[in-house]
């Protein structure tokens, strides 16, 4: 079934002269890597096609992957195939014109209730959308798009960021086979890791102070609250403050960890992460969603923030009662 939808997407790519590719807002490595990777694969296979990336926001920490080039005009949309990658729901697409093309393709790996698109290729169990895009290079498919060093570098970036460097539960034998295909393109993995994971001295010092701000609920949910005032005091961008979620990712017994980051408009971004126990349903109840163990949400008051924390704590309490052997 998935082979059929992959071939259908490859057929559409072949048919259309103009292809426009978009991703989700507040992009991560997978969103940028998958879109830039597919852009490169199509451009290399079909040099005469007009292939665009069209998104309205960016991530400074991914600037090393390069910019997105020229934007399509409204006219370009008229006969275009639009492909949206790594985006569960339409409201998260970083492109208000996503529905202005002739046909819309969705390629994604998020858990969702409502979808969009004329053609949907969804594999929720995949560790990254980049892993899916690598699948389009499979030579047994009609119209397969070959990889090269450039596309492989983009795709590898997304694979390692979304799989937590091949540690998260979605990492499968297929993930490793896809990574191997990318490595065969002679990519510079050392530079990719350095670009992604080296931090400025100020950021390292901030992380050290953030460790001291970690709090723990009764059942072991670790959390950090970062107010706008705190961000401003430390001259942190929202993106830098948001990255703090990772300082809580290896505390024994803390199978759920949350970062609350106050936005400029006073709403609070919540980054939810977990191990063994699935946190996604909690995110879905607070204007969010994502993956089983890695989700995002937004709360609009301190009361809502407390309620979310309580739900997470109760979920972990139940999990620990019903399961043994967790660390």
Interacting residue ranges for ligand AMP, rule: CB under 6 A? 24, 28, 88, 92, 110, 271, 288-291, 294-296
Give the nearer residue to ligand AMP in terms of CB position, either 6 or 271: 271
User: CB of 228 within 8 A of CB of 264?
Assistant: yes
Toward ligand AMP, which CB reaches closer, 55 or 294? 294
- Rounded to 5 degrees, φ, ψ at 268 are -120, 120
Check if the beta carbon of residue 21 is closer than 8 Å to that of residue 35: yes
* Nearest residue (CB) to ligand AMP, 147 versus 309: 309
CA 257 to chain centre: 18
Of the chain, the end-to-end C-alpha distance in Å amounts to 38
Shortest distance, CB of residue 298 to ligand AMP, whole angstroms?
A: 6
Closer to ligand AMP by Cβ: residue 192 or 270: 270
Helix and strand numbers, DSSP H then E, in the chain: 12, 11
Cβ contact 69:43 at 8 Å: no
Among residues 97 and 271, whose Cβ is nearest to ligand AMP? 271
State in angstroms the smallest separation of the CB of 91 from ligand AMP. 8
Q: For residues 145 and 224, which CB has a smaller minimum distance to ligand AMP in the complex?
A: 224
Tokens of 206: 């901030």
**Shortest distance (Å) from residue 316 CB to ligand AMP:** 18
Contact indicator for 211, 224 with CB cutoff of 8 Å: no
Work out how close the CB of 31 gets to ligand AMP at its nearest, in angstroms, rounded to a whole number: 7
Q: How far is the CB of 5 from ligand AMP (least distance, A)?
A: 21
Give me the least distance between CB of 148 and ligand AMP, in Å please.
Answer: 27
Among all chains, which residue has been given the structure tokens 């002739």?
Answer: 102
Is the Cβ–Cβ distance between 105 and 82 less than 8 Å? yes
124: left (phi over 0), alpha (psi -120 to 50) or beta: alpha
């Amino acid at each position: 079934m998935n082979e059929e939808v992959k071939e259908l997407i490859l057929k559409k790519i072949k048919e259309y002269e103009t292809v426009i590719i978009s991703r989700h807002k507040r992009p991560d490595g997978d969103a940028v890597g998958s879109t830039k990777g597919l852009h490169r694969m199509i451009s290399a296979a079909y040099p005469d096609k007009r292939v665009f990336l069209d998104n309205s926001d960016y991530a400074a920490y991914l600037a090393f992957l390069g910019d997105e080039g020229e934007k399509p005009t409204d006219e370009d949309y008229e006969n275009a195939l639009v492909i949206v990658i790594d985006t569960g729901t339409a409201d998260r697409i970083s492109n208000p014109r996503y529905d202005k093309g002739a046909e819309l393709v969705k390629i994604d790996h998020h858990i969702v209730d409502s979808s969009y698109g004329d053609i949907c290729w969804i594999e929720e169990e995949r560790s990254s959308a980049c892993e899916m895009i690598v699948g389009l290079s499979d030579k047994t498919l009609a119209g397969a798009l070959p990889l090269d060093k450039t596309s492989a570098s983009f795709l590898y970036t997304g694979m390692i960021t979304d799989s937590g460097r091949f540690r998260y539960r979605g990492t499968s034998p297929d993930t490793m086979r896809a990574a191997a295909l990318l490595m065969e393109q002679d990519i510079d993995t050392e530079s990719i890791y350095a670009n992604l994971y080296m931090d400025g001295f100020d950021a390292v010092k901030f992380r050290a102070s953030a460790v001291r701000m970690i709090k723990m609920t009764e059942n072991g949910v670790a959390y950090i609250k970062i107010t706008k005032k705190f961000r401003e005091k430390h001259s942190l961008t929202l993106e830098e403050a948001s990255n703090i979620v990772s300082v809580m990712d290896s505390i024994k017994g803390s199978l759920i960890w949350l970062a609350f980051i106050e936005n400029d408009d006073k709403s609070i971004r919540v980054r939810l992460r977990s191990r063994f126990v699935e946190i996604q349903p909690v995110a879905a109840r607070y204007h969010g969603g994502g993956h089983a163990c890695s989700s995002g949400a937004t709360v609009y008051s301190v009361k809502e923030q407390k309620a979310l924390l309580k739900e997470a704590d109760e979920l972990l309490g139940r999990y620990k009662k019903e399961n043994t052997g967790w660390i």
